[in-house]
């Protein structure tokens, strides 16, 4: 596999991003003080769900975070967040999404750095 096989724009931060305001919905039955809430993310699955749950649970202000896929044939991800009260569930979700995005950018940067060094072998089975 040659280096040119990975020809993807380097600076993903500068790419124009379409923001879909219907992508994440706040589900009913959130607590009055905002410390616990459930959200539904459209067109996502376990790939985002597990990574986002892990990142949100790393936040010391979060008491619980779990996710489920309501039905295998629907591309919907439900995520429940409960905090200790110092931040709201919406803030915890925001921070989790930001942290996960930063992590992905860091991983991509490290990957590209190693790729540019060219010190790798392609092992074909």
- The domain spanning residue 34 has which CATH number? 3.30.1360.10
Residue 116, pLDDT > 60, answer yes
Instruction: Give the pLDDT confidence of 37-75 residue by residue, as tens digits.
Output: 999 999 999 999 999 999 999 999 999 999 999 999 999
Does the residue 4 lie in any domain? Answer: no
Host H or E run for residue 83: strand 76-83
In angstroms, the CA 124 to CA 121 distance is 9
Look at residues 91, 79, 74 and name the one whose alpha carbon lies nearest to residue 54. 79
- Please give the pLDDT value at position 19: 64
State how many domains the chain has: 1
Question: 84 with 34: CB under 8 angstroms?
Answer: no
Residue 94, pLDDT > 70, answer yes
Query: pLDDT-based confidence at 6, cuts 50/70/90?
Result: very low
Does the residue 2 lie in any domain? Answer: no
What is the model's pTM? 0.79
Does the residue 6 lie in any domain? Answer: no
- Please give the pLDDT value at position 118: 86
DSSP state of 5: G
Does the residue 39 lie in any domain? Answer: yes
In angstroms, the CA 109 to CA 28 distance is 39
Please give the residue range of the domain that contains residue 107.
Answer: 21-115
């Amino acid at each position: 596999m040659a280096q040119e096989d990975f020809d993807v724009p380097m600076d993903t931060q500068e790419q124009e991003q379409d923001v879909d305001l219907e992508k994440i919905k706040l589900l009913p039955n959130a607590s009055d003080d905002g410390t616990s809430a459930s959200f539904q993310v459209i067109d996502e699955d376990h790939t985002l769900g597990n990574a986002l749950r892990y990142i949100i649970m790393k936040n010391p202000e979060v008491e619980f975070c779990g996710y489920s896929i309501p039905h295998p044939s629907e591309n919907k991800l439900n995520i429940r967040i409960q905090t200790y009260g110092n931040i709201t569930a919406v803030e915890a979700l925001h921070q989790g999404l930001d942290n996960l995005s930063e992590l992905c950018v860091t991983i991509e940067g490290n990957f590209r750095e190693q790729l540019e060094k060219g010190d790798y072998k392609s092992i074909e089975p």
